[in-house]
Amino acid sequence: KKFIETINCNVSNVLKCLESKDLETLMLLSNDLTAEQSSELTNFWIVQDSSAYSPVLPYNPLQQLTRGNFKKVPLIIGNTKDDGGLFLLTDPRLKIGFEENNTEILMSALGLATGNVKEEEKRIVDIMKRFYLSEGSVDDNEKNLIEIATDSWFESCGAEVKKLHGKYAPVFPYVLNE
């Protein structure tokens, strides 16, 4: 909502307003957002809907997988190799967290924390940083930051689905490279 107000759009007709803006203007305006405002634009979550007449997700998907309550059919699952690049481009917290060596900001940008961060969680991210990142600038680590974001947001979820679904039916994982 804050971004919509920043670009002088009327909340009642957001789509029409956004369509009237040129891409360069939107990109420049998005660069002026705070980390929190940017997070609001890039964070998205599965929304369970049990009240609609014909809900798309009437049950929690993770609970359904854990219980084996799904169609036991072969599954093709994967992601695009550099999906995390989206976060590097749109969420300034990733660069800020790296530049300031701030574990809490990195955790938030990677979807690993939404509130108070426990010491054990910080240690896990510190291990991830040592595994993925090297000394040097953000530019030197651009590929590494993309990989950590891809694995955090996409591959870790996919790995869990592969593990749980694979107990009941064949799973065919892929990574799209090109």
C-alpha span between 68 and 165 (Å, rounded): 8
Q: What is the pTM of this model?
A: 0.64
Which residues are bridge partners to 80 per DSSP?
176
pLDDT of residue 86: 79
Q: Return the pLDDT at 32.
A: 64
| Spatial separation of the C-alpha atoms in residues 67 and 125, rounded to whole Å | 29
At 46-73, the pLDDT tens digits run 677 777 888 888 888 889 999 999 999 9
Residue 57 CA, chain-centre distance (Å), reads 19
- What is the pLDDT at residue 23? 76
C-alpha span between 12 and 1 (Å, rounded): 11
Looking at residue 21, its pLDDT comes to 84
Please give the pLDDT value at position 152.
Answer: 84
pLDDT score recorded for residue 78: 93
Output the pLDDT for position 169. Answer: 95
Integer angstrom CA distances of residue 142 from 61, 99, 110, 161: 33, 12, 15, 28
Which residues of the chain fall short of a pLDDT of 50?
none
Look at residue 55 in the predicted model and tell me its pLDDT. 85
Residue closest to 122 by CA, chosen among 101, 92, 140, 99? 101
